[in-house]
Amino acid sequence: MSAIVIIPTYNERDNLIELTERLLALPLALDVVFVDDSSPDGTGKLADELTRSHPQISVIRREQKLGYGSAVIEGFRTALKGDYAWILQMDADLSHDPAAIPALIRAASDHDLVLGSRYIGGVRVIDWEIGRVLLSWMSNGYARAVTRLPVRDITTGFRCFRRQALEALNLAQLQAAGYGFQIEVAYRIWRSGGRLAEVPITFYGRQKGISKLSKRMIVEAAVLVWRLRLSRVQGI
């Protein structure tokens, strides 16, 4: 059974080749879909070039910067048109090491959503200033306390879904962007009885390019967790 990896990109040209090499070197059959929002640095064009030599790769090129969450949703919709048993999500900036993918897929054989977790069994974040690690770690504690989601890393963007879990999600209903998007998806799957697992990963701070997720998204996520807790999730 096969797997596909969804990778949203915005100005990731300097990371794309190494990421692709590492993905294609894995000892498993994997398709890859980049979702690019017309990156000014030409990421989309480079991704198109990669598709010519690698049939496993495809690219969705969107005309405007519609945001991280919307890019991942677009990837989900595309993935569900294929017959993939597992659908993965990861960042393009080499923060997520493709070498962890086999472990994520293994855990997804008996779970609906597997989180690549920086915060189980310690804290594994390399090359982030201590303030950012603390903010992320404390945000996770806060989100866990409010939502009761029983996981240590709710905001991780390195994940593997069992196909059925994504099929059951009402993608049109997802509202949050940025970090809130990760929380909302995990919450809906959990609230509808989905089984969650965490697999330890090491997270590497980006070396090339700049972060696109903003402080505003942290505030948005902080409010979202209350909305999720207080709402009765109807459907998922």
- Interface residue list for ligand GDP (CB under 6 A): 8-10, 12, 35-37, 65, 67-68, 71, 91-93, 95, 206, 211-213
How far CA 229 is from CA of 47, 111, 118, 145, in Å, comes to 39, 23, 24, 10
Report the residue number whose CB is nearest to Mg ion: 93
The amino acid at residue 30 is: L
Q: How far is the CB of 118 from ligand GDP (least distance, A)?
A: 12
**CB neighbours (10 Å) of residue 128?**
17
C-beta of 43 vs 147, nearer to ligand GDP: 43
Identify the CA nearest to 169 among candidates 36, 58, 80: 80
C-beta of 137 vs 146, nearer to Mg ion: 137
| Site membership for Mg ion, residue 95 (CB under 5 A) | yes
How far CA 62 is from CA of 9, 45, 65, 148, 209, in Å, comes to 11, 12, 8, 36, 20
Which does residue 67 bind out of ligand GDP, Mg ion, none, counting CB within 5 to 8 angstroms by kind?
Answer: ligand GDP
C-beta of 47 vs 149, nearer to ligand GDP: 47
Q: x/- contact string, 198-217, with Mg ion (CB under 5 A)?
A: --------x-----------
C-beta of 87 vs 236, nearer to ligand GDP: 87
Whole-angstrom distance between the N-terminal and C-terminal Cα of the chain?
Answer: 26
Decide the pairing of beta strands 159-162 and 86-89: antiparallel
| Binding piece for Mg ion, criterion CB under 5 A, among 51-59, 94-102, 103-111, 168-176 | 94-102
Which does residue 229 bind out of ligand GDP, Mg ion, none, counting CB within 5 to 8 angstroms by kind?
Answer: none
Q: How far apart (Å, rounded) are the C-alpha atoms in residues 196 and 228? A: 17
Q: How far is the CB of 212 from ligand GDP (least distance, A)?
A: 4
Report the residue number whose CB is nearest to ligand GDP: 211
Q: How far apart (Å, rounded) are the C-alpha atoms in residues 229 and 144? A: 11
C-beta of 54 vs 206, nearer to ligand GDP: 206
| Site membership for Mg ion, residue 93 (CB under 5 A) | yes
Decide the pairing of beta strands 196-200 and 113-117: parallel
Q: How far is the CB of 37 from ligand GDP (least distance, A)?
A: 4
Identify the CA nearest to 11 among candidates 33, 44, 58: 44
| Binding piece for Mg ion, criterion CB under 5 A, among 30-38, 73-81, 88-96, 187-195 | 88-96
Judged by CB under 5 A, how many residues of this single chain contact Mg ion? Answer: 4
Instruction: Answer for the pair 148, 226: CB distance below 8 angstroms, yes or no.
Output: no
